[in-house]
Structure 1
Amino acid sequence: DPSFDLDENLSKSINYDCFEPMVVTAKAAGVKRFVYCSSSSVYGVSDAPDVTEEHPLVPLTLYNKFKGMCEPLLFRHQSPEFTCVTIRPATVCGHSPRTRLDLSVNILTNHAVNKNKITVFGGSQLRPNLHIKGMADLYQLLLEVPNEKVAGQTFNAGYENHSIMEIAEMVRKVVMEEFPEKGDIEITTTETEDKRSYHINSEKILRVLGFRPKRNIEDAARDLCAAFKAGELPDSFDDDRYFNVKAKRLRNFVNVLVEQYNASLKRMFKGETAAIYERLLAINGIGPETADSMLL
C-alpha cells in the first residue's frame, strides 16, 4: 500500500497491468496449474459475522482493489488444460527464512521482546491470521489436489479471527512465558487510519480440500521468540530486510527512475550487468543484497 502513495502508476503496472500478460505467458509456456495468491484484505470492512467467498469485495486501498480485480482476469483463461485457482489468505505470521516484521503478529512480538511494550494501533479491528508454515502447506496442497477440486475456485484461508487487541494479549502472554526475566509487558493503544476489519469464513476450504492449519498465532509468537533468543533476527527495527516497503528507499528509487530514465525500467536496466549494478548502488538506500535481488 505505501508504494501506491509514492507512485500510483508504477504500482498499478506491477500489481495489475502485468498480471494477465503473465497468465497468458504461463499458459502458452505449458504451465498446467496457476495458483493466484490474492488477499483476504479485498473484503475491506465488513460487519458480516462470517465473510465467505461470495461476499462483495469492498477494498479500502488501491493495492487491495487491484488484488481483487486480478481474480476474474485469471479465470478468463481457465480450461481443461490450464487449471486456475485463487486463494485469499489471511495475514501471514511467524518466523521464516525471510521474516517480515511489518505484519500484525510479528510487529507486536518484536515490540514485546525488544521494547518490553506493545503499542496497539486501534485495537477493535478484526484480523484473520495464518501461520507461515500453514501457508506453505496450503500452497503444496493446491498444487497436488485433483483438478476438479480447485478448477475455477476461490478459497478463503484464515481460521483465527481475532481483534488486534486480542492478538496483542496473546503475544504478551507468550513473550512473558518465554522471557520471564522481562516481567510485565505493557500494552498501550493509539489511533489508526487503518480501518480494515473482517471475520473470514474458511469452511469451504475445509469442506472441499480438508485443509486446516496445524499451527496458530501463539505458535507463531513462540517461533519468533525462539528466533530472537538464537540471534536470528538482529537489528529488528532498523534492517530493511524485515520490511516489505521502506518508504524512503522506494521514494529514492522512484525519483531516480523518473528523473534520470523518464520512468522507464527498460532504460534503467539497459547495458552491462556490472554497470547496472553500480547504477543501483548509487541510489541512497539500495545496498548490495537489494541490487542483487533486483538484477535477478
Structure 2
Amino acid sequence: MGEIHLRPRQIIIIVVIFVVIILFITNTRQNCEFPKYYRSSARKDDLPTIFAITPTYYRPVQKAELTRLSHVVMLVPNVHWIIVEDADHTSSLVTNLLQRAGLVERSTQLSAKTPTQFKLQGKDPNWSKPRGVEQRNAALRWIRENTSKDDRGVVYFMDDDNAYSVELFEEMNKIQAERVGVWPVGLVGGLMVEKPILNNENIVTGFNAAWRPERPFPLDMAGFAISLDLLHKRPEAVFSFEVERGYQESEILRHVTVLKELQPLANLCKEVLVWHTRTEKPKLTEEEKLRKAGKSSFDGIEV
C-alpha cells in the first residue's frame, strides 16, 4: 500500500475536527451530570435511615404503581422500603418486583389483612373501611421491634398512588431528633397545594386546608415524616379504626407533637415536592367479557 501524503490544509482540517469532537464530549459530560440534590443524596454515609411505609393491595394497577415508586427508591440509597400488603400472605408479584429492582436488601415485605368487621362511620360508599390502618400499624410494629431509640431514622408514610420528587427525601434527612417534619402537598383536598402556614418566626401556626379544616392536623399523609426516636418514645402512637375519614394523620400526630413543634421543610414550605396524583381506574370491559367466557388476555403473564 502506498504512503498517504496529507497537505497542510488537510492536516489543519483534521486537527480542527479533532478539537471540536473533544470539546463536544467534554461539554456533554458536564451537561449530563446528576442533579445537585441527587449527588447529595447519593452519599449514604452519616444519613438517617428513611423507613418508607407503603400499604398496598391487589388491583389491576398495583404493579404499575409499585414499579413507578421503586424507581424513586432506587435513587435514594438511605431509604428502607416497607411494603405491607392487605392480604393473608405476601405475594410473588411484590417479591418479584423487589428482586427485579435490586431492592431486596433495602426492603421488608409484610402482609396484614384488614379485619372485615371494621367499618368506617359515614355515608361515603367508597370508604366502607379505614384504608391502610392495619398495614401501617404492622409496619410501625416491625420498625419498633427492629430498631432502637438510639438509631438515626425517619418514618414516612409513602402511599403508592402519589408522585414523589427525589428532593423530598433530601428534605427528610434534615428532620431533627424528636421532631416531625412537614411540607406542602400538591393536588390534594380540592386545592392546587395544601400547605403549612408559618408566622414571622417560621413557626407553623396552621394549614390552608379547605377540606375539614377543623381537624387537629389538617394535612395529607404525604405531607409529614416522624423522627424515629419519637415513635420509640411514644409507643401508643398508632393509627385507629375508630376515627373518621381524614383523621388518621391527626390520630398519630396527636401522640407525638404539637402544632408549634412541627419542623417546616421544603424551603420553609414554599416548594411542592410531592403530589397526590392518584391513578385512574382502568377500563377493562373487554377483559370482563373474556373472563365471563373463561378466558383472559394475560394467561401466564404477570401484569
Q: TM-score, normalised by structure 2?
A: 0.30
Q: Which has the higher helix share?
A: 1
Q: Which has the higher contact order (CA 8 A, sep 6+)?
A: 1
Q: Give the greater-gyration-radius structure (CA).
A: 2
